[in-house]
Structure 1
Amino acid sequence: MKLTLVDNLVLPAQHDLHLLDTHPHLGLLSLAAVARADGHDVTIYDPKRLVRSGALAYDETLYERVADDLLAGRPDAVGLTTLGCSFTFVVGVGRALERREPDLPLLLGGPHATMLARPILDRYPTFDVVVRHEAEETLPAVLASLETRDFVRVPGVTWRTPTGVAETAGSPRIDDLDTLPWLDYELYPMRELGLSLLRVEAGRGCPFACVFCSTATFFQRRYRLKSSRRLVAEMDALRDRYAPREFKLDHDLFTVDKRKVQEFCAAVEGHGHRWRVSARADCVDEELLEHMAAAGCIGLYLGVEAGSERMQKISAKRLDLDRVAPTLNACERLGIETTASFITGYPQETTEDQDATLNMLGDCFDRPAGSCIPQLHILTPEPGTLLFDQFGPSMLFDGYATPFNSWLLRPEDRQEVLAEPAVFASYYYYPTALPRYVHVGVVESVDLLRRLGRPVLVELIRSHGGKLAELIRGLIAASPKTGPPGARELEEYVRARLGDDDPVTSLVRYALLLRNPVPARRRRRPSAPTDRAANIHARYALPAGLRMLHNVHDCAEVMEWLSDGSRPVDAAHLPRTSYVLLPGEERPAQVALGVTALLDLVGAGCSPHDVAVSVGAIGDDLTEQWLADLVDAGLLIAADVDESVDAN
């Protein structure tokens, strides 16, 4: 049988295609290996790579194009893996396949289909079979039974019959992962991908029961690791073939069994591998971290989730928060980079709970550069969790896009999402004690503040008493409730809070000039240019895309005294300068104040396409006639002209 397995496509916004993860899907590789061992011809189709490369148009034709690609291989069956955040893609492609080849068997697997097997088959006649949980042992039997559609002897299968949906009992699980065949990464175009990091499945299962996560449900809370011998052998073979610089050992909680981790460290030490894993802060100690570092561990992902003891209990995470800082300190000392991940948006979360999380997040930012990467995510509903069982019936929809539900390609997709909340739960949110705009504003504010860069953000947090929560509360309060704060709101908030004489204000404005793709100040469009506009454009050689910053502290000097701790007594007397960022340049150039004054005046009235100037061609003369020419040409709105104007 020719079987085509289809990788996930978590639909990003069009400007975020670079976020598409092109690493091979380890679960599909494992299924392909067992199907091949049973004599089947298996290929893997990876839409995320094709979309990211531009080979597959990312528009309303996507589903039809993918169906064309799949059918060109003339498969006897197609299997699609499912996540909640990729299910619009699965449905769109499935329906396109059904229209062309109604008799082609369509199989579903993965976490989302496992949790919602019967509802999906009830509501989507497009799909024929759901293979639940870990399918390596059941997939060969399913493929062998596709022609007769008689799956009654195969555990963990849900399928469509002429009289309705049928289901066999059982939750298949692979207890000894060493019995699985080795993966053939060549089912992906590895040379073309050129990955410097390779993922290797280290184990499965989480013994904990966090109310927001379905991992334990899918893997049935049975914690397993591959043997050290098998895992190191796989790493050696992959290094010899692909020469990656490092490995990610895939397991939600690698360090639960410290004895097995010690065995792995002893086995891998001396092989020269650099590797990263995930853990809980209370499932490692300093001795274990020392052994891990000596054996090549360079990265540790820590799911903290909440900085509030109350939320730790409510969410059933039950992490000992007193272990977080010592763990980060030990990793910092040992050269292990950490990622500290937090969540906001729990239904029961209060302002005090959220502030505790934000302040712990801020403490993570205030660590030496490169030692800790803090993350803040907004909670999304997930079938197969206790939260979903409790709050799923009351979910709400507001269209807010996250990296996990960002894009609806067609109007029909939105209609689908609105019609089936349980199936498309990742597009929804639970009712919460705090207003929704607060949760969204907090997450978006952290992403916005991250753009400032760690040194500037740390100084801004310190200017708010060392409390990230105070900074974000002030920013949200000063912003309109019609949407989350943006660069303009951040600049205006900092200038109002700290004043223009504070060098931190200059640093924030400079950082926004560098990293904000949209001008921070938006001004109304000028009136249509007159016939003299062409002469003005020629006189000032105006290219498009320049951004300017006028009369700020010399940011290089400010950063210098920040780095050595020598904050001057009277920072207001630090030297001031102006910057201009020309199109295509990565760093602003300092310019003379007279030139910048003219640039600011031009920028005050120009549309974004007209803003810019050839700096060296102007000089410092700023005459009334020039201003009159600019106004007459529609390049300057006279009412906006004053010494405080700047055009970033």
Structure 2
Amino acid sequence: MRVALVTCFNADWHFGKLPSPYVPLNLLGLAAIARRNGHDPAVIDPTLALTEGRVSDGPDFHRQVAELICASGADVVGLTTMCNSYPQTLTLARWCRELDPTVRILLGGPQASVVDVATLREFGWIDAIVRNEADRSLVQVLDRWTTGRDLAGVAGTTWRGADGVAVREPAAPLLQDLDDLPFPAYDLYPFERIPVAFTPVEAGRGCPYGCTFCSTNVFFNREYRIKSPTRLIAEMRYLQDTYGLTRFDLVHDMLTVDQRWVRAFSAALVGGGYGFEWACSARTDRVDDDLLATMAAAGCRGMFFGVETGSQRMQPLVRKRLRVDDVLPVIRAGTERGISCTGSMIVGFPEETVDDAVASLELALDILRISPDTQAQMHVLAPLVGSPLYEQHRDDLRFDGHSSDISLFLLDEEEIATVTRHPDIFPSFYHIATPHLDRELAKAISAITYTCPTLFMALRLAGADLRQVLTGWTSWQRRHVGPEKLRPDYYLSAFVPDLCRYLELEVLAPLGPTAPVLRDLMAYTEVRYTLQRRLTGERTAFRAFDHDVRTLNASLRTGGGLDVEHVASDLLFVNLTAPRGRGYAFLEVSVPRGPDALVRPGDRLEIRDPVRQLLSRPELIIRNTSQRRAFAAKHHLTERHLTVLGLRREPATVATG
């Protein structure tokens, strides 16, 4: 049977940039099993089709993707699902049914697994759902449908009976020995064209912990399983021998639970001399200095730590139970050993107070100050079906059009209407009330972490009370930012200019001698943000600074202070805007002051044939038509940058004013 396995649409859009494709490891694994059992799988990625121009963004996107799917000649369309794109997945499935009424439509993945009965009840074009792990059930479904039989007795499935009513079969047992799985069908996906730092390889499944916000424990029943070091390394060697790959993301929710396994795996890597580099996820209480040193020596170059909250009071309430005081030493120790560390947190827990939320922001800033290579995430809480938090609050979910950044609100009007009708199916687009925490403050803390953390590092160093700054912001926002501006994407695309206006009017003056430095840093942050988010039609922006803001911005990420040189630092920001939807890049050109300055405020600038220049030389020629002169500015874009941004496709003349 011909089966088209379709990836989730990656809804992680940022600031006018199209989403990035990702290697669909789960589907490649299922494709290998289906092929081993005599079926004919293909893998179709809507995100990749969009970035490669085979479909276009806009109202016809889903129909175009459905046409690609149906053109594959599939008898069965299997769509994997995640909470962030579930409405879009259902829209795509509906188009597949309209274009080919005979095709069977099958859903799988985390979201469909936990809302299976409700999905079949409300969306008549879905034929069946394979719940949780589908390593066994997918093949059984395909075998049954090949011979025209229904799915009665196929464990782990929910299917539509002859009367249209959902039939829910008992759960399928989890696969215990992951070494029995075939290598994923990597040949079915052009992952060599995907610009990823680390190629994903499944190391294992399941997390034994029971955090209140997480639904993973439902999907894997809290059963921790991991491949043997021999099996895992064999797959890494296969990718090296076949595709020349040596950098891997070892996919497992919690790789370091079994430290003996980690040591054995690390020893095997060192002993084999493969030269692999790899990344993984862990808990800060499941590593120590010795283990970090062992992992680093074996090629570990990245670690993701789910910290969840910087408040020690909140740790037991969310059942994470970490010691917050241990987080920074662990991340610092990893960084010192060459491991790029990420600390991930959540804001918006129902029990959370302002002090708890500010503690999380403080910890995020501390993580970022360790090194330019450290990262911090701050997600607004999303109620996930199956999580203890969802079960406790499922009857009191609230909708305000602003969803967590794990479910970015990029839906059309029809999909929004569907979401609002079915909170039980799409709860991640809702929120839980926070009686002791202003929701706008929670949103702001998340946005600050992603958009202007160095500005808040500087405010803190200058003696500002971040609690007062944030509560003052929410009060100011209610008075000065109208509801027409507070669109669902406000905190992604228009937040910083309003925040800077508030800081200028109500925060900077009392900070005394540091205010001028902060004002320069604020202006630097705002102009970069404005260009990146395309809040202005300008392609260039000239700003005069009294301090060396670039050095200050960089030093804040390495624990530096506010004692920046009081020297002129005039900068010309040149926006190298790519074709629509392909992202952004811009140059920062230092411009000397004085009577012979290359650029002055109000000058008209022109960049002729920027794409041709970028492709042919390391410098960009900028013409100052007001002064009738030209100068060269070096650019930092590599060949990979140019390809990803799509600058090769649309040579043009950019005139700016």
Q: TM-score range by the shorter chain?
A: 0.7 to 0.9
For 1:410, give the aligned amino acid. Answer: D
How has the CA–CA distance of structure 1 residues 19 and 474 changed in structure 2, closer, same or farther, with 3 Å as cutoff?
farther
Residue number in structure 2 paired with 1:334: 337
Offset of 1:414 from its aligned partner? 1.5
How has the CA–CA distance of structure 1 residues 419 and 38 changed in structure 2, closer, same or farther, with 3 Å as cutoff?
same
Task: Give 1:203-218 correspondences, 5 Å limit.
Answer: 203-218=204-219
Distance, in Å, in 2 between the alignment partners of 1:432 and 1:63 is: 36
Offset of 1:364 from its aligned partner? 1.0
Distance, in Å, in 2 between the alignment partners of 1:185 and 1:278 is: 23
Which secondary structure does the structure 2 equivalent of 1:145 belong to?
Answer: helix
Whether the aligned pair in 2 keeps the contact of 1:307 and 1:358 (CA below 8 Å) is: yes
Residue number in structure 1 paired with 2:527: 513
Whether the aligned pair in 2 keeps the contact of 1:17 and 1:52 (CA below 8 Å) is: no
Residue number in structure 2 paired with 1:168: 169
Distance, in Å, in 2 between the alignment partners of 1:25 and 1:156 is: 22
Offset of 1:102 from its aligned partner? 2.2
- Residue 574 (structure 1) aligned to one of 526, 546, 566: 566
Distance, in Å, in 2 between the alignment partners of 1:59 and 1:520 is: 19
Q: Does 1:288 align with 2:291?
A: yes
Residue number in structure 1 paired with 2:400: 398
Offset of 1:229 from its aligned partner? 0.2
Distance, in Å, in 2 between the alignment partners of 1:393 and 1:118 is: 18
Distance, in Å, in 1 between the alignment partners of 2:181 and 2:553 is: 54
Which secondary structure does the structure 1 equivalent of 2:245 belong to?
Answer: coil
For 2:307, give the aligned amino acid. Answer: V
Offset of 1:172 from its aligned partner? 3.0
Distance, in Å, in 2 between the alignment partners of 1:561 and 1:66 is: 46
1:435-461 superposed Cα distances (whole Å, 9 cap, x missing partner): 2212112212222214xxx5x654343
Q: Does 1:6 align with 2:6?
A: yes
For 1:138, give the aligned amino acid. Answer: S
How has the CA–CA distance of structure 1 residues 495 and 176 changed in structure 2, closer, same or farther, with 3 Å as cutoff?
same
1:122-155 superposed Cα distances (whole Å, 9 cap, x missing partner): 1111111111111112222111112544323321
For 1:440, give the aligned amino acid. Answer: K
Task: Give 1:214-225 correspondences, 5 Å limit.
Answer: 214-225=215-226
For 2:496, give the aligned amino acid. Answer: A
Offset of 1:19 from its aligned partner? 3.7
Offset of 1:333 from its aligned partner? 2.3
How has the CA–CA distance of structure 1 residues 478 and 141 changed in structure 2, closer, same or farther, with 3 Å as cutoff?
same
Whether the aligned pair in 2 keeps the contact of 1:10 and 1:404 (CA below 8 Å) is: no
Q: What RMSD in Å do the two structures reach over aligned CA positions?
A: 3.2
Which secondary structure does the structure 2 equivalent of 1:338 belong to?
Answer: strand
How has the CA–CA distance of structure 1 residues 259 and 16 changed in structure 2, closer, same or farther, with 3 Å as cutoff?
farther
Consecutive unaligned residues in structure 1, runs of 5 or more: 523-542, 604-611, 619-647
1:340-396 superposed Cα distances (whole Å, 9 cap, x missing partner): 0010011111112112211111211221322x2111111111111111111122111
Distance, in Å, in 2 between the alignment partners of 1:341 and 1:295 is: 24
Residue number in structure 2 paired with 1:536: none
- Residue 273 (structure 1) aligned to one of 268, 271, 276: 276
Whether the aligned pair in 2 keeps the contact of 1:137 and 1:172 (CA below 8 Å) is: no
Distance, in Å, in 2 between the alignment partners of 1:45 and 1:459 is: 46
Q: Does 1:307 align with 2:310?
A: yes
Whether the aligned pair in 2 keeps the contact of 1:362 and 1:461 (CA below 8 Å) is: no
Whether the aligned pair in 2 keeps the contact of 1:13 and 1:406 (CA below 8 Å) is: yes
Task: Give 1:21-420 correspondences, 5 Å limit.
Answer: 22-146=21-145, 147-163=147-163, 164-193=165-194, 195-269=196-270, 270-370=273-373, 372-420=374-422
Residue number in structure 1 paired with 2:652: none
Residue number in structure 2 paired with 1:498: 508
Q: Which has the larger displacement, 135-144 or 275-284?
A: 135-144
Whether the aligned pair in 2 keeps the contact of 1:33 and 1:182 (CA below 8 Å) is: yes
Distance, in Å, in 2 between the alignment partners of 1:519 and 1:121 is: 39
How has the CA–CA distance of structure 1 residues 192 and 588 changed in structure 2, closer, same or farther, with 3 Å as cutoff?
closer
Residue number in structure 2 paired with 1:616: 627
How has the CA–CA distance of structure 1 residues 293 and 149 changed in structure 2, closer, same or farther, with 3 Å as cutoff?
same
Distance, in Å, in 2 between the alignment partners of 1:437 and 1:79 is: 39
Residue number in structure 2 paired with 1:553: 547
Instruction: List, as ranges, runs of 4+ consecutive aligned residues in structure 1 with deviation greater than 6 Å.
Output: 518-522, 556-568, 593-596
Consecutive unaligned residues in structure 2, runs of 5 or more: 577-585, 605-622, 630-656
For 2:495, give the aligned amino acid. Answer: G
Offset of 1:16 from its aligned partner? 4.4
Offset of 1:295 from its aligned partner? 0.8
Query: When the two structures are aligned, how many residues end up with a matched partner?
Result: 581
Whether the aligned pair in 2 keeps the contact of 1:152 and 1:168 (CA below 8 Å) is: yes
How has the CA–CA distance of structure 1 residues 61 and 257 changed in structure 2, closer, same or farther, with 3 Å as cutoff?
same
For 2:520, give the aligned amino acid. Answer: S
Whether the aligned pair in 1 keeps the contact of 2:158 and 2:167 (CA below 8 Å) is: yes
Which secondary structure does the structure 2 equivalent of 1:221 belong to?
Answer: coil
How has the CA–CA distance of structure 1 residues 75 and 248 changed in structure 2, closer, same or farther, with 3 Å as cutoff?
same
Larger radius of gyration: 1
Distance, in Å, in 1 between the alignment partners of 2:221 and 2:554 is: 54
Distance, in Å, in 1 between the alignment partners of 2:221 and 2:121 is: 25
For 1:72, give the aligned amino acid. Answer: A
Whether the aligned pair in 2 keeps the contact of 1:106 and 1:129 (CA below 8 Å) is: yes
For 1:116, give the aligned amino acid. Answer: V
Which secondary structure does the structure 2 equivalent of 1:616 belong to?
Answer: coil
Which secondary structure does the structure 1 equivalent of 2:591 belong to?
Answer: strand
Which secondary structure does the structure 1 equivalent of 2:63 belong to?
Answer: helix
Which secondary structure does the structure 1 equivalent of 2:3 belong to?
Answer: strand
1:229-258 superposed Cα distances (whole Å, 9 cap, x missing partner): 000111111112222351100001000011
Distance, in Å, in 1 between the alignment partners of 2:552 and 2:457 is: 14
Whether the aligned pair in 2 keeps the contact of 1:445 and 1:472 (CA below 8 Å) is: no
Q: Which has the larger displacement, 467-476 or 270-279?
A: 467-476
Distance, in Å, in 2 between the alignment partners of 1:35 and 1:564 is: 52
Offset of 1:59 from its aligned partner? 1.1
Q: Does 1:463 align with 2:462?
A: yes
Offset of 1:331 from its aligned partner? 0.8
How has the CA–CA distance of structure 1 residues 561 and 414 changed in structure 2, closer, same or farther, with 3 Å as cutoff?
closer
Distance, in Å, in 2 between the alignment partners of 1:225 and 1:231 is: 9
How has the CA–CA distance of structure 1 residues 134 and 565 changed in structure 2, closer, same or farther, with 3 Å as cutoff?
closer
Which secondary structure does the structure 2 equivalent of 1:78 belong to?
Answer: strand
Whether the aligned pair in 2 keeps the contact of 1:206 and 1:216 (CA below 8 Å) is: yes
Offset of 1:490 from its aligned partner? 3.8
Whether the aligned pair in 2 keeps the contact of 1:580 and 1:591 (CA below 8 Å) is: no
Distance, in Å, in 1 between the alignment partners of 2:561 and 2:15 is: 41
Whether the aligned pair in 1 keeps the contact of 2:6 and 2:78 (CA below 8 Å) is: yes
Distance, in Å, in 1 between the alignment partners of 2:199 and 2:533 is: 38
Whether the aligned pair in 2 keeps the contact of 1:6 and 1:81 (CA below 8 Å) is: yes
Offset of 1:558 from its aligned partner? 6.3
For 1:546, give the aligned amino acid. Answer: T
Whether the aligned pair in 2 keeps the contact of 1:4 and 1:79 (CA below 8 Å) is: yes
Q: Which has the larger displacement, 435-444 or 376-385?
A: 435-444
How has the CA–CA distance of structure 1 residues 258 and 614 changed in structure 2, closer, same or farther, with 3 Å as cutoff?
same
For 1:113, give the aligned amino acid. Answer: A
Distance, in Å, in 2 between the alignment partners of 1:6 and 1:564 is: 45
Distance, in Å, in 1 between the alignment partners of 2:168 and 2:539 is: 60
Which secondary structure does the structure 2 equivalent of 1:48 belong to?
Answer: helix
